[in-house]
Amino acid sequence: MKTRGVLVAFGGNALVERGQDATLPEQTRRADELAGRLAVMAGEGWRMVLVHGNGPQVGNSLIRSEAAIHQVPPLSLDVCVAESQGSIGFLLERALRNAMRRRRDTPEPVTILTQVLVRSRDPQLKKPTKPVGPYFPRYRALELRKRRGWKMVEEQGRGFRRVVPSPRPVEVLGLDSIAELLRGGRIVIAAGGGGIPVVGTSRGLRGVEAVIDKDLTAGLLARRLGIDLFVILTDVDGVYENYGREKERLIPRLTAGRARRGIARGEYPAGSMGPKVQAAAEFVRATGREVIITCARRLAAALRGTAGTRVVAG
């Protein structure tokens, strides 16, 4: 059996179902479900890297930090991302170990705390657009804007929320270690939440209060590792034409050229499918290899070519 490398990226919502509380038992249950599907791939000979999102989990960390602000110092956003890498990595690694034991397979999972370099002059660092954390009443939002320099935006009927930059990933630190573990047959959980954002300074690395899109980091990591197949799991079956409208239609085969034109025309929203299609198009363009975009429950069918969207050269 030929050994192939696959990178699977999935959102933090994979462990937190929409409309439900992010309780530990619920996240554990969903981690077990996902691990079962991934264990089947590992058993078929795939060398696997996993990149998870962390949106709901980091949001909850920021809410807890705000609630306890009068008792303990608040945590910076980069530290919250690091915390989520550890906690989500633990849930996934434990679930994968259990799934492997049940299947009597040998691949061993390992979680890597991963920093990702962004450019200190990235224009996005001066244009906060990504909402994070809790909603605040007006008086608290004005106080935070004045005392901490946060940019706050109002969402009608819910209050004010902080927005932070989302710079583009440039380099995944620790790449050689990830590659060595992958070659050694490990299932590597890395770059969670898009990675802990850092910039280089004259005094070394410094964390920044930002979030990196996990799909763009996953695509960068897949290219650097020479991955054979890049899989992006989302909460819908694949990429749709006219999504949410009357003539909605699943696109089973999407060329990288068509994907780039669709991004330019705004067909794929920046807050949902846009980064996934962009990461897929960039991977295909750089490597000539394919990307699958689908949901976890359709993963097996998508690997057989009977579900999901395949992004291909052209």
Catalytic residue among 5, 130, 133, 238: 130
Catalytic choice (214, 219, 238, 262): 214
Which entry of 54, 238, 276, 308 is annotated as an active-site residue?
A: 276
Three-state SS for the chain is CCCEEEEEEECHHHCCCCCCCCCHHHHHHHHHHHHHHHHHHHHCCEEEEEEECCHHHHHHHHHHHHHCCCCCCCCCHHHHHHHHHHHHHHHHHHHHHHHHHHHCCCCCEEECCCEEEECCCCHHHHCCCEEEEEEECHHHHHHHHHHHCCEEEEECCCEEEEEECCCCEEEECCHHHHHHHHHCCCEEECCHHHCEEEEEECCEEEECCCCCCHHHHHHHHHHHHCCCEEEEEECCCCCEECCCCCCCEECCEEEHHHHHHHHHCCCCCCCCHHHHHHHHHHHHHHHCCCEEEEEHHHHHHHHCCCCCEEEECC
Say which of 12, 192, 238, 308 is annotated catalytic.
12
Active-site residue flag, 242: no
From the list 13, 53, 55, 219, the catalytic residue is: 13
Active-site annotation holds for 130 = yes
247 is catalytic: no
Active site (annotated) includes residue 12: yes
Positions marked catalytic: 12-13, 130, 214, 276
